[in-house]
Amino acid sequence: MPARDAESTIVTALRSTLRSMPDDSEILVLDDASGDGTAKAVRSVRDNRIRLTTSSKSLGVAAALNELLSSSAAEFIARMDADDISSPIRFIRQKRTIGERDAVFASTVLFGKGSRLRVTPLAPLSPKGSIFALLLGNPFAHSTMFARRRAVAEVSGYRSCMAEDYDLWMRMAASGRRLARDWLPAVALRQHPSQVTAAADWGDRAAAEPEWQESYERLLRTIISPSLVSTVHASVSASHTPARKAEVIAPLLRGRVQKLSRSDRLSIGLLARREGVSL
């Protein structure tokens, strides 16, 4: 759990996570040069499973996550935001459902001041379906990740870019790691206007970064012939919005998606609709 200026929400996030964690686990918190009382709020929660480190200089999300990753020797790791709320059965279910997979995610409940409670689509994704979904958009909520630490470390963890989570998922899938999503919500995600991703042009700028472009091309190579990759990727790179990029790739995915399971088709169809694409 990386945290920056999270004094007002981190106690709730910690307590909900601790309630759902096994007794033989720990939660690693990195206070990333907060200007408020984040560290004091963490220390107010009396539980010996909490391990707090502080940084006097802001590392940024990706570097903070890599620092936390290197501090763990656990077989399994999980991600949690300092302003979200964990389901009481989150880790029991995720440890049960990971099976032979390398990472599992979950649906979410969205909440926020002045907004109504909403549930993201209760639709699962298999590892095979996840590859196609990732080419259309990001189907995984970062705060719901439950993964084998080795699978994340072996692709060198997070990179410093705007969409550090989406970039990681694409690299993991392109390298043969098996990613899946459970239909049952695992985390309540707090929505607020100051979130970085709430900016109108955030998705456009993230998809224009070289890290995103590189990871996308690697993933694309896993499903289409090498002779098509350069042409298709050039068209994707020239597109200026995530929705336009999805429109470019959709015709190549359409026939392949129809061969997937019914639940995968449903999940991918809902994601395509979110991106404004006909699939």
**How far, in Å, are 69, 86, 112, 122, 127 from residue 28 at the CA level?**
9, 15, 25, 29, 28
Query: pTM score, two decimals?
Result: 0.94
Report whether pLDDT(88) > 80: yes
Give the model's pLDDT for residue 271. 93
Q: Per-residue pLDDT for 192 more than 80?
A: no
Give the chain's mean pLDDT: 93
Q: What pLDDT was estimated at residue 198?
A: 62
**What is the C-alpha to C-alpha distance for residues 278 and 195, in angstroms, rounded to an integer?**
29
Higher per-residue pLDDT: 247 or 51: 51
193-223 pLDDT tens trace: 666 666 768 888 888 899 998 999 899 889 8
Measure the CA angle with vertex 228, ends 222 and 229; round to 5°.
Answer: 50
pLDDT score, position 228 = 81
Average pLDDT value for residue range 172-195: 92
Mean pLDDT of 158-166: 96
Instruction: Please report the pLDDT score of residue 194 as a whole number.
Output: 65
pLDDT tens, residue by residue, 52-69: 999 999 999 999 999 999
* Mean pLDDT within 175-192: 95
| Mean pLDDT for the stretch of residues 226-245 | 79
